[in-house]
């Protein structure tokens, strides 16, 4: 009995805080999505599912939905490929200054998203930005663009900033997994005539697959969250809503247009979408755990 009381006392603060700041607000979002409310007045009108009916006919929301899907797919695929590639090189190849490269790759992850937005706004500057300046030096004027002003490519510019910010973090995670793989596996594979690519696909990738599955969920959640911050600081959703994403559109509706209930309806859709997508990805990528 005394042991159970002790355990209860220890975990109670965490349970209380989690309930107050996670569970209750989540239920409140679902509840407020059923009301027509400006957010500041005392007048709340219960409208049931009307906010969701409006939502599916809102072309601005549909565009933000498409932008979010595009960013999730692009950032996840490119970050995964580059992070695994660099992790494999720095772990398995004898490179001078490996620790230095680890630090350099990880630095973007510790920078404020506002700082990253400022850096890439300068890089994408059409007149004096690094990207167009490089094309100038290479005499490839046809590739020069208004990177943050062109409707067709601005979302890809945002994706580039997100990838740059995320690579180092996931690279370090993959390096940790790769470093724990016994060297004897690679020695045996070499004796059998397997090249480095075959070793990577047959030994490295299967043995770090569980880590990759976990990080895929991180990609989804972090892209949804960070894309909002980066868009707000970098483009403000423009030009003409071409970089509007889930959370930036929700924020604009809930706090900019005084349609709080409608904004919470968007929040319900984002919550449900994130949960379902993470579950689908986890199910699709499920494999038997390999032990070594």
Tens-place pLDDT, residues 153-193: 899 999 999 999 999 889 988 988 888 888 888 888 888 88
Q: How many CA atoms lie within 13 A of 187 on its CB side?
A: 4
Parts of the chain with a pLDDT under 70: 288-292
Helix, strand, coil % in the chain, rounded to nearest 5: 75, 0, 25
By CB neighbour count within 10 A (0-12 exposed, 13-18 middle, 19+ buried), where does 277 fall? middle
Backbone angles phi, psi at 35, to 5 degrees: -120, 155
CA distance 122 to 133: 11
Cα 262 to Cα 266: distance, rounded to the nearest angstrom: 7
Answer yes or no: CATH 1.20.140.10 is held by domain 36-111+154-284: no
Closest CA to 158 of 247, 72, 82: 72
What's the pTM? Answer: 0.87
Give the model's pLDDT for residue 257: 74
Residues 6+ apart with CB under 8 A from 217: 278, 281, 282
User: How far is it, in rounded angstroms, from Cα 245 to Cα 101?
Assistant: 33
pLDDT of residue 292: 56
Q: Where are the domains of the chain?
A: 36-111+154-284
């Amino acid at each position: 009995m005394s042991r159970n009381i002790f355990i209860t006392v220890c975990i109670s603060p965490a349970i209380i805080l989690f309930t107050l700041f996670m569970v209750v607000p989540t239920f409140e979002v679902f509840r407020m999505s059923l009301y027509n409310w400006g957010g500041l007045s005392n007048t709340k009108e219960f409208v049931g599912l009307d906010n969701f009916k409006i939502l599916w006919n809102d072309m601005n929301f549909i565009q933000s939905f498409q932008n979010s899907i595009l960013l999730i797919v692009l950032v996840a695929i490119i970050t995964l490929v580059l992070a695994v590639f660099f992790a494999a090189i720095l772990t398995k190849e004898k490179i001078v200054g490996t620790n230095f490269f680890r630090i350099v790759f990880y630095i973007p992850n510790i920078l404020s998203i506002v700082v990253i937005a400022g850096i890439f706004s300068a890089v994408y500057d059409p007149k004096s930005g690094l990207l167009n300046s490089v094309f100038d030096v290479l005499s490839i004027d046809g590739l020069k663009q208004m990177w943050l002003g062109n409707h067709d490519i601005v979302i890809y510019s945002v994706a580039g900033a997100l990838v740059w910010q995320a690579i180092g973090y996931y690279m370090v995670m993959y390096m940790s997994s790769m470093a724990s793989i016994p060297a004897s596996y690679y020695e045996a594979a070499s004796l059998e005539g397997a090249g480095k690519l075959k070793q990577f696909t047959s030994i490295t990738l299967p043995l770090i697959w569980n880590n990759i599955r976990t990080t895929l969920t991180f990609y989804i959640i972090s892209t949804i969250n960070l894309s909002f911050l980066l868009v707000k600081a970098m483009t403000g959703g423009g030009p003409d809503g071409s970089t509007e994403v889930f959370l930036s559109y929700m924020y604009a509706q809930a706090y900019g247009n005084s349609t709080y209930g409608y904004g919470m309806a968007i929040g319900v859709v984002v919550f449900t979408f994130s949960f379902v997508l993470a579950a689908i990805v986890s199910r699709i990528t499920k494999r038997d755990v390999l032990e070594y």
